[in-house]
Chain A
């Protein structure tokens, strides 16, 4: 592109403002300007608070996700039960909060697992390059080829049905894509002169990766992570649907939706509320992810 198009005012940093503005701060300002992303972020925080603090409050007030009221059965929403009750007479609102806690936890933990493994693996593979890179990436390819369902069933069979295994199983699959993305980013970053400069200075490889490479790829990584969370949450409901995931009386949004779908015709609220909650979370995450992608784009900061 011609120099005239990407015009950049050659503004000298002025004395009044000696504290520099990092690219992170810059991105934060851009993110704040994106209304949809801000709304998404606020909704997520509210959802998170509701599923943690809100759930505690509800428990204190005597509502529990387990306590049944078989006589009441499936009741429509009322002042007593805001979202109605399910077939066993359990308060749906509390169950949605409880399910949300598990779903969000799965989403966040599994994404965190995939982030940590994926970023380190991808960064090392991309930075070292050559034969090491070839071997490391072939391992990823092989793991990609493993059928996910069988992998999860095997885990469950060997270690028993534990919630922590769901995190691990999902994280273990999601990090593969993360590693590939990170590797690609690192490969292009490696040719940048500041990486060469760090080598010329005589920095250790570990320091180059941790200090010069990873901070510069966090942008796309964070964006991908926010888009991974909804994917993970959907995956969890799929596992639960197979009966391998969350076990009753515990529940998650995926399980609630599955139950609600079965009783959709008589008791539509059983489907509408959990599905609404899940959609709300997914939409918010996607908007936040979109906003982050635009905000963290370094090219945009040159406008």
Chain B
């Protein structure tokens, strides 16, 4: 196999915490993303799962160069994105786009659907004015909306429709990579399924590489080829979607899987339900060693508090987890 389509090498995104009005001094660091390495092939869908504050959204924005990484590199088709500056970066943005969580906030309320999409199209391409309406209509049809809505404003649409428009905007520049940050969590259950189907279909049809960020493992499982589970800025488990879901390796993934509310009665599940104690710790002062050890039911002190675990396979090399007791607990 040739070079991967997208490669992250030890990406770190830290935010300084500063105090003081004039003489600002750094009093701490939020390690939102702390050493993430990943590689994706073209057309792959990666589900990125974790709780709030685990750094999944920051990672997504770091990949798209909306937040500069503190360390590490993001390489897209052999091009180091961190090195791009100014206009170079602006032009490169045609290759990677983002879909946001809140369809009520991600569209400019004062622009019609046409204005929004036409702006996106014309950012990276010269399209004759006469041809623009056709292009916009084609985009709307691609996301399953009728072109007759072209003159309408965002507030006249439902959440699901707005999310479709936001997807159309991302597609307008014909990107190769899309990061979707919780694209369905603001939507109703029945609408969620529609958007997930749409994203899956688009990815297949357009050979689009998709990073699908969500806090909900069950949503991610369906659309993704692989799933990466994040905890406190690090990936703790990575593997094929169905495998991660059916046979989670890392204790944290196990807890996440068992926390999915299952609307089934008596089909088991209850007995092996793991309820974690405590809240996710703050990324300002992450625990030493394995970041999960204070909440982990399998924690073995002092080992777990001292050794920083690396992603390792149990048996199948495709599925890896960052737990030093991986072999002992299975």
A→B interface (CB under 8 Å): 10, 12-13, 15, 18-24, 192-194, 196-204, 211-212, 215-216, 298, 301-302
Contacts and interface: CB of A to CB of B under 8 A. Distances in A.
A192 B109 CA distance: 11
Nearest to B99: A197
B90 interface: yes
A204 B86 CA distance: 10
A200 to B, nearest CB: 5
A303 to B, nearest CB: 12
Given A13-B152, A21-B156, A202 B102 contact: no
Contacts of A15: 148
A19 B153 CA distance: 9
Contacts of B14: none
8 contacts: A12-B158, A22-B110, A24-B110, A200-B66, A201-B97, A201-B119, A215-B110, A301-B155
Nearest to A191: B105
Nearest to B65: A200
B155 A212 contact: no
B120 interface: yes
Interface in B86-131: 89-94, 97-98, 100-102, 105-113, 119-120, 123-124
A20 B90 contact: no
Contacts of B112: 20, 22
Contact of B158 (A10, A18, A23, A215): A10
A20 B97 contact: no
Given A197-B98, A200-B98, A203-B90, 10 more contacts: A12-B158, A13-B152, A20-B113, A193-B100, A194-B108, A201-B123, A202-B91, A202-B92, A202-B93, A301-B155
A201 B155 contact: no
Contact of B148 (A18, A22, A199, A202): A18
B108 A212 contact: yes
A24 B110 CA distance: 8
Given A194-B107, A197-B106, A197-B169, A18 B152 contact: yes
A113 to B, nearest CB: 25
Nearest to B159: A10
Interface string B301-319: 0000000000000000000
A197 B166 contact: yes
Contacts of A212: 108
Interface in B35-92: 64, 66, 89-92
Interface in B129-161: 148-153, 155-158, 161
Contacts of A23: 109-110, 153, 155
Given A20-B151, A193-B100, A193-B101, A201 B173 contact: yes
A13 B156 contact: yes
Contacts of B161: 12
Contacts of A19: 151
B105 A18 contact: no
Contacts of B153: 20-23
Contacts of B105: 192-194
A203 B111 CA distance: 15
A196 B123 CA distance: 15
Contacts of A199: 66
Contact of B156 (A20, A193, A196, A201): A20
Contacts of B98: 196-197, 200
A92 to B, nearest CB: 47
Given A196-B66, A196-B100, A201 B109 contact: no
8 closest A-B pairs by beta carbon, nearest first, are: A202-B93, A20-B152, A193-B106, A193-B100, A202-B90, A215-B110, A193-B105, A200-B98
Contacts of B64: 200
A201 B157 contact: no
A211 B97 CA distance: 20
Interface in B207-262: none
Contact of A18 (B90, B91, B119, B151): B151
Contacts of B152: 13, 18, 20
A302 B155 contact: yes
Contacts of A215: 108, 110
Contacts of A10: 158
Nearest to A24: B110
Contacts of A302: 155
Contacts of A192: 105-106
Of A24, A196, A203, A212, most B-chain CB atoms within 10 Å? A196
A216 B109 contact: yes
Interface string B9-23: 000000000000000
Contacts of A202: 89-94, 123-124, 173
A20 B66 CA distance: 32
A138 to B, nearest CB: 10
Nearest to A22: B153
